[in-house]
Amino acid sequence: MGLSLKKGERINLRKEVPELKHIMVGLGWKINSTNKETENDFNLDVSVIMLDNNGKALGEEYVIFYNNQKSPCGAVIYGYNNSTYKDDEKIFIDLEKIPEEVRKLVFIVNIYKAEERKQNFSMIDEAYIRIIDIDTDKEIVRYDLINEFSTELSVNFGELYKKDGEWRFRAVGMGQKEGLAEFFKQYGFTINQ
């Protein structure tokens, strides 16, 4: 098991694994027991937003999600069903292929049709994000989000960012009551969902 982070904490991935090249970012959660009757109606999706040095998205094609499963550079691939990793969502990243203009990757989890279905993150338990070194199959770091959300429809689980030429990870755990569109606006664009 990897290093466990708390909200706001950071880790330099290269210091933990000096030869790190290929990672899998796994995200998971459970529908809490009081909502079993609507469990099948829950659909959570991850979006990875690739940002420049100013914190703005490089463009719509740099938002990786179920409808755009690969970044233009080929560095970020939206996961596929894989028996090796049991996470709910998987993102595969080749750190060496990420273009120099990309300084940060943000991992946002959104509840699909949350308002229509009267769902929010207070109904989600045991949410986490973790990073696996694919080449050694070892977990480097994990952040378990505490259940502090109420009416949030989307949550930024964590950020992978480059500082001093090295990739680092920050545990974020910040929710947005207005949903995914509000996160997109924060990063300088809108997208048709």
What per-residue confidence (pLDDT) applies to 136? 94
User: Using an 8 Å Cβ cutoff, are 131 and 123 in contact?
Assistant: no
* Dist. CA 193–CA 164, nearest whole Å: 35
Phi first, then psi, for residue 86 (nearest 5°) are -95, 10
Given a cut of 70, whether residue 191 has pLDDT beyond it is no
| Residues in Cβ contact with 13 at an 8 Å cutoff, skipping those fewer than 6 apart | 20, 23, 131, 140, 141, 160, 166, 167, 168, 169
Q: Where are the alpha helices (DSSP H) in 36-188?
A: 114-117, 180-186
Given a cut of 70, whether residue 177 has pLDDT beyond it is yes
Given a cut of 50, whether residue 193 has pLDDT beyond it is no
% residues pLDDT > 70 (the chain): 92
| Residues in Cβ contact with 54 at an 8 Å cutoff, skipping those fewer than 6 apart | none
% residues pLDDT > 90 (the chain): 69
Q: Which of 36-45, 77-86, 98-107, 132-141 has the lowest mean pLDDT?
A: 36-45
Given a cut of 50, whether residue 41 has pLDDT beyond it is yes
pLDDT band at 82 (very low <50, low <70, confident <90, very high): low
* Dist. CA 23–CA 39, nearest whole Å: 30
pTM score, whole prediction: 0.92
3-186 is a CATH 3.40.50.620 domain: no
**Averaged pLDDT, 171-181:** 89
Q: Which of 36-45, 57-66, 155-164, 170-179 has the lowest mean pLDDT?
A: 36-45
